[in-house]
C-alpha cells in the first residue's frame, strides 16, 4: 500500500529531515512510527499525504508513483486518505458537524448520507452533544477528537495520524486507540505516529522507529 525507496527530504537544502528511508507497509496493516521530537515523523506522514514532495527517492501509494502524479490529481488521492494533524487544522468558526462533514461534501456525497455517517462517528467519539458548537469553543482534547472524526468519517484507504493522543489523558488515549483499531479492522491501513511508548507497549504492533531522520528499526 505504501512503499518508500531511498527517500530523502530536506526543507532547507542543507540538512535532511529524512534520509535514505526505505520501507513497505502492506494493505490493512497497523504501523506505529516512533522517534524523539524532531526525528522526522511528521515529515514522513506529510510525504505520504503529498503535502511535501521528496527531495530524492521514490514513493508509491496504492501502486501509484506520486512523483509522477499531476498536481491536479492530488485532491482525488487525498479523498482516499484521512489525516489527523498534530495541530488539528480545523476551521475555527465552523461547527463540529460541519468540520467533519466537509470531508464528505468535497466528494459530493449526498447530504442524507453525510448526516448518517457524521452522526455515526460523532457518537463513536463521544462528540454528539457538541455537534453544533463552533470548534473554537472546544477544549484541546475535544478538538483532537473532531480532527480524528474528520479523518475516519470517509472510511479511508489509508489513515495517517500524527500524535493523535497528544492532548488526551491516558484513559481517553486508550479509547481512541480502540477507535483506530476498529477502523483498521474494517480494512483501513493505519500509520500512527507517536512518541508515547506506553501506548505501543499496550498495543503491540509493528513499529518503524526513526532517529534523526533515519530508520533504525522497521
Partner 1 sequence: MKRFYAFLTYVWRTLYQAHRATIFSDFLNSITVMVLAGTAAMVMFFLVNFEESLQASKKGISVLVYTHEKPSSQQLKTLSQLPEIEDIKVIPGETILQKEMGKEALRVFREAGVNIPQVISITLEPEKEVSEQFKKIVNHTFQPVYVDYGIEVRRSLGTVLRVIQALSFTTTVLFVVGIIIIVAGGVRSNILMQQQEIEVLKLVGATGRYIAFPYTLKYTYTTFLFITLGLYLFDVLVIGSGVFSSGGGGLLSVKSIPFRFYTYLVLAGTGAAAVSGYYTLRRML
Kindly list the residues in this chain that would bind partner 1 in the complex (CB under 8 A).
51, 72, 75-79, 81, 83, 85, 89-92, 94, 99, 102-103, 105-111, 113, 150
Candidates 38-46, 132-140, 145-153, 178-186; binding stretch for Mg ion (CB under 5 A): 38-46
Candidates 11-19, 21-29, 73-81, 152-160; binding stretch for ligand ADP (CB under 6 A): 11-19
Residue 167 to residue 214: CA distance in whole angstroms: 27
- What does 187 bind: ligand ADP, Mg ion, partner 1, none (CB cut-off 5 to 8 Å by kind)? none
Residues 44, 50, 56, 58: what is their CA dihedral angle, to the nearest 10 degrees? 90
- If one asks whether residue 38 binds ligand ADP (CB under 6 A), the answer comes out as yes
- If one asks whether residue 156 binds ligand ADP (CB under 6 A), the answer comes out as no
- What does 38 bind: ligand ADP, partner 1, Mg ion, none (CB cut-off 5 to 8 Å by kind)? ligand ADP
Minimal distance in Å, beta carbon 40 to ligand ADP? 4
Cell numbers linked to 167:
492532548
Do 210 and 39 contact (CB within 8 A), yes or no?
A: yes
Minimal distance in Å, beta carbon 213 to ligand ADP? 7
Cell numbers linked to 12:
532547507
Q: Which CB atom, from 43 or from 99, has the smaller least distance to ligand ADP? A: 43
Residue 182 CA neighbour count, 13 Å, CB half: 12
Among 16, 19, 42, 90, binds Mg ion (CB under 5 A): 42
- What does 39 bind: Mg ion, partner 1, ligand ADP, none (CB cut-off 5 to 8 Å by kind)? ligand ADP
CA of residue 11 relative to chain centroid, distance: 21
DSSP letter assigned to residue 164: T
* Contacts by residues 120-128 (CB-CB < 8 Å, ≥ 24 positions apart): 121/149, 121/152, 121/153, 122/96, 122/97, 122/149, 124/149, 124/179, 124/182, 125/149, 125/176, 125/179, 127/96
Q: How many residues does the chain have?
A: 218
Residue 106 to residue 181: CA distance in whole angstroms: 26
- What does 128 bind: partner 1, Mg ion, ligand ADP, none (CB cut-off 5 to 8 Å by kind)? none
Q: Which CB atom, from 31 or from 114, has the smaller least distance to ligand ADP? A: 31
- If one asks whether residue 11 binds ligand ADP (CB under 6 A), the answer comes out as yes
Interface positions with Mg ion (CB under 5 A): 42
Interface positions with ligand ADP (CB under 6 A): 11-12, 17, 35, 37-43
Amino acid at each position: 500500500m505504501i512503499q518508500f525507496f531511498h527517500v530523502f527530504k530536506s526543507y532547507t537544502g542543507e540538512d535532511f529531515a529524512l534520509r535514505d528511508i526505505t520501507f513497505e507497509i502492506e494493505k490493512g496493516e497497523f504501523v506505529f512510527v516512533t522517534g524523539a521530537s524532531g526525528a522526522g515523523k511528521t515529515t514522513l506522514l506529510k510525504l505520504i499525504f503529498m503535502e511535501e514532495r521528496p527531495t530524492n527517492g521514490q514513493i508509491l501509494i496504492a501502486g501509484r508513483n506520486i512523483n509522477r502524479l499531476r498536481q491536479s490529481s492530488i485532491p482525488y488521492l487525498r479523498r482516499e486518505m484521512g489525516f489527523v494533524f498534530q495541530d488539528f487544522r480545523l476551521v475555527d468558526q465552523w461547527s463540529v458537524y460541519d468540520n467533519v462533514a466537509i470531508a464528505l461534501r468535497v466528494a459530493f456525497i449526498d447530504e442524507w448520507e453525510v448526516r448518517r455517517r457524521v452522526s455515526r462517528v460523532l457518537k463513536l467519539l463521544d462528540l454528539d452533544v457538541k455537534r453544533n458548537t463552533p470548534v473554537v469553543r472546544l477544549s484541546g482534547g475535544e478538538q483532537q477528537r473532531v480532527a480524528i472524526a474528520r479523518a475516519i468519517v470517509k472510511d479511508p484507504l489509508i489513515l495517517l495520524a500524527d500524535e493523535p493522543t497528544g492532548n488526551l489523558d491516558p484513559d481517553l488515549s486508550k479509547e481512541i486507540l480502540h477507535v483506530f483499531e476498529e477502523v483498521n479492522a474494517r480494512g483501513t491501513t493505519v500509520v500512527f505516529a507517536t512518541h508515547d511508548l506506553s501506548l505501543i507497549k499496550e498495543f503491540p504492533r509493528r513499529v518503524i522507529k526513526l532517529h534523526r531522520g533515519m530508520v533504525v528499526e522497521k
